[in-house]
Amino acid sequence: MTRKPKGQDRTLGRGDWIAAALQTLIEEGVDSVKVVRLADRLSVTRGSFYWHFKSRDELLATLLEAWEAKNTQAILGRAEHPHRDLTSAVLDIFALWVDRALFDPGLDFAIREWARRSTTVHDAVRRADDRRVKAIAGIYRRAGMTAIDAFIRARILYFMQIGYYALDLRETIEERMRYLTPYLRGFNGEEPDESQVASFRRRYLKQAAQ
Amino acid sequence: MTRKPKGQDRTLGRGDWIAAALQTLIEEGVDSVKVVRLADRLSVTRGSFYWHFKSRDELLATLLEAWEAKNTQAILGRAEHPHRDLTSAVLDIFALWVDRALFDPGLDFAIREWARRSTTVHDAVRRADDRRVKAIAGIYRRAGMTAIDAFIRARILYFMQIGYYALDLRETIEERMRYLTPYLRGFNGEEPDESQVASFRRRYLKQAAQ
DNA sequence: GAATGTCCATACACATGTGTATGGAAACCG
DNA sequence: CGGTTTCCATACACATGTGTATGGACATTC
């Protein structure tokens, strides 16, 4: 067994196990995050795992922390950033839903599914959802709505998107870009500025083409 | 072993296994629908199961059929029924979301979670979602909207509710009844008739109190 | 009331999963 | 270059799960 500390087949670290576990979590759910399978995937035996981790539970706790630290920030950052009008603010949130580099729905949903069977995870998800909805409500508040209307509109926007992921429709970018205007009309209760919609559409269709 | 064909501890049938499996499915997900555990739950051994079913897969297929045959009908029935105005039609849909006797979100969501790991189930869920959205779109069509606007509003209403279940908020009926008016305003883009809202609220708060 | 059918217990073979104990090879460090 | 540390293989004990084979107890039927 040759050791190459910085080569291709260098030795494994906690990070490698976590990365493999995150992918399995997203693709197959928590129940499929098994130590044996990860070992197979990484082409080592379980002996390695139990050197890096105390137990499977410790790995799972780490996965939750990784999600908590990362996935909510994208939403908060965009929602709290000041915008010149309501349309551009909501389009900025839409960008999260179509750009996987900004927000990973697979991870978010895998955690959410896990949350249904673990109170610890459930509580963590609830805190995250609260923060996200509050941040989006700020957009409608700044557009001049009452606190309650802003809160409800934020819920509709956010819940609808979570529902979209729950449905697991697997539409193409083109399909998703088709109905931007009626969505904005539905969410905001006002007619959107078509030039902003068009430029948003162009931008993400081009990005997807790359 | 005493046999009492019509007594309390009568002999088991397929239906008993299916009922137990459905409950486990809802409470713990497909991955927890194990033959051993069902046998424990029913206080028999697995020998009984393999008399009634060929395999675990056969049981799972039966669960999907049970859902397909039942849970979509509630939505279609309410949505296709004619109403005197938009508010009453949408309130009639709302009733589905608050009354577990009409629509079982737990079952629906358990199936949806299962669908993420089985293409057969995924296809079945997709067909059901299509029919549901089309039916709700009919409500907005009859209220005079264009086909596209009706379709998008139906999506927002339906997706938002699926998202609500995905969030697994566990609110009380009182909390859920609090924001009816702003929800209707958000969904329909018009001011709801407050007397209709009030009577809806009274009706379901009273029902919950029983 | 003997044969048949219905429902379930028991025992067996096998697969997959967790966690522990132990030792061994490469890398690092003095 | 000998000792220590780092990382992993191997072997073992145990738990949980599926599916099969077989026989036994009760009920039904003729």
Pick the closest to residue B67 from B124, B29, B147, B132 (CA basis): B124
Q: What radius of gyration, in Å, describes the C-alpha atoms of chain A?
A: 20
Can you tell me whether residue B171 is helix, strand or coil?
coil
Pick the closest to residue A125 from A166, A74, A72, A75 (CA basis): A72
55-114 in chain A: CB under 8 A from chain B: 109, 112-113
Q: At what angle do helices A86-98 and A180-188 cross, to 10 degrees?
A: 120
Predicted local distance difference test score (pLDDT) of residue B10: 66
Chain C footprint bases within 7 A of protein beta carbons? 6-11, 16-23, 25-28
Q: Is pLDDT of B8 > 50?
A: no
CB of B169 within 8 Å of a chain A CB? The answer is yes
**Among the partner residues A28, A163, A179, nearest to B166 by beta-carbon distance:** A163
**Among the partner residues A149, A152, A183, nearest to B152 by beta-carbon distance:** A183
| B186 contact residues in A (CB cutoff 8 A) | 149, 152-153, 156, 187, 189
Predicted local distance difference test score (pLDDT) of residue B193: 93
Can you tell me whether residue B34 is helix, strand or coil?
coil
Distance D8 C1' – A39 CA (angstroms) = 11
- Provide the percentage of residues in chain B whose pLDDT is more than 90: 69
Asked if residue B32 lies in contact with residue B113, where contact means CB atoms within 8 angstroms, the answer is no
What is the tens place of the pLDDT at every residue in A103-161? Answer: 999 999 899 999 998 999 999 999 999 999 999 999 999 999 999 989 999 998 999 89
What is the tens place of the pLDDT at every residue in B61-96? Answer: 999 998 987 789 889 999 999 999 999 999 999 999
What CA–CA distance (Å, rounded) separates A150 from A143? 9
